[in-house]
Structure 1
Amino acid sequence: MITGTSGLGHAPPAGPPQEAPPAPACIVAVHAADRVTADGASAWLQASPGITPTDASQWRDADVSLFIASEVTDVLLHAMRGRIGCGEDVAQPIVLVAHSITDRQLLTAVDYGLVSFLIRDTVGLREIADALIEAKSGKSQLPGPMIRHLISEMRARRQSMDDISGRTGLQAREIQVLRMLAEGLDTNEIASRLNYSDRTIKGIIHDVVKRLGLRNRIQAVAYGLRTGAL
C-alpha cells in the first residue's frame, strides 16, 4: 500500500491574472477644409484613448477617415470617392461631420463608404471619437430620418432594378458591370469596386456578349444604353 503524497509534488502558486493586451489604436485620417480645423481635431484626437490621428495624405494606412466640413460639396464627395477603387476590396469607413446633408448627397456618400453622419452644431469631440471607434468595428451612427430615407430608397432601387432586369434580360449584377464600363472603368477597377475577381468580371461580360449575340463589350454597353438599363 502506498501512503502519503504523490511524487508529483504541489503545483506552484498561481501568479496574478494576466491582463488582456490593449486593443490596437484606431488610426484616423483627418480631412478638413482648412488647416486650423484639421490641426485642432488631430490634436484633440491624439489625446483621446484608443485613437491615433494621421494626416489626410496617409489615409491608406488608416482604419477610418474623418471628414469635417461646414457644408457637403461635390469636391468633398469626390474626395470620399477616392477612398475606393484604388486596389481596396471595400470602401474605407467614413465618418462625416457637417451642418447638413441632402438626400442625394447622403445616398452618394453611403456608396462611397459613409457609415456615420454627425451634425456639427450639436456634436462634441467626445461623440466624434466614439463614432470613429465604432466605425472601425463596423457600427454606424445615422439620425433616424436618414436611416428611414435610406431604407425607402434602397427598396425603390431594388424594385427599379427588378423592372429593368425583366425588360432588358440583363441580371442586376450584369447591369452594375455594364454601368461601370460605361463610366470608363476597366475590369480591374470594376472588380475592386464590387469585391469580385478580375476573372469573374470578365466572365460576366463574356456571358452578356454571348447570350445577347453581340460582338464585344462596347456593343454590350450600347445595348444597355439603348434599352434604358444604364
Structure 2
Amino acid sequence: MINVLVADDHALVRSGLASMLNVQPDITIVDAVADGLEAVKRAAELRPDVVMMDIRMPNLDGIEATRRIRARPDAPKVLVLTTFDLDQYVYSALRAGASGFMLKDAPPSQLAEGVRTVAAGEALLAPAVTQRLIARFLRTPPADVAAAQTEILTERELEVLRLLAKGLSNAELADRLIVSEPTVKTHVSRVLMKLGLRDRVQAVVYAYEHGLVTPGDEP
C-alpha cells in the first residue's frame, strides 16, 4: 500500500482528495491536514510514502514545508498540487525538493497515477506544462547559481541531460538515442550522481538554470 498524507487548507479540496484516493486499492490516506506546520509534524510522525502538498497554506507555506520534509533522512516524496493562477510558486517548490506537481483539477485517475509515480521514485514531469512553467519563471536565472559543471559529463551524458530537461521519458530517450532503456537508466543515474542531483526534476531545473536548454527548444 502507498501511504499518503494530504496537506491543503481548503476543507472541501482536502476531503475530496482523500475520498478520491482512498477508493484506490493500493492507496491509503493516513491523514489530511490544513497547514504547513502540521504537514511537517505529521510527516515526521506517520512517515508516509507521499505528501500531497498545497502551496498556499497558513502558518507555513507549502514551499517551506516541502523543504523541511525533504531535509529529513528517508523523507517521503512530495507531490505539489497547484492551479494555473499559482504557477509562480511551482518552480520554488521544485527547488525545495518536490518530486513533481499536478493540477488540482486533474481527474481522479491521473491524481492516483501521479501518487504511484512519485512513490515509485520517479519524477512526475508533464513535459508541456513543466517546460512552460520553468520557461516562464527562469528567464532570469537566480544570482546564486554557480557555473555548470558540464565538463565532468561525457558528450552522451550531456545529450541525455538536455533531453531530460525537455521532458522525454526513458522510453523516448531510448528511441531517440537508439539504445536500450536499461542503458538510458544508466546514463541518467550517472548524470544525477556526477552533478549531485537528487532526481529528474532537479536535472530539469539544473539544465534550465545553467542555460543547457532554453525556453522554446524543441524536444
TM-score, length of structure 1 as denominator length: 0.48
Report which of the two structures shows the higher radius of gyration computed on alpha carbons: 1
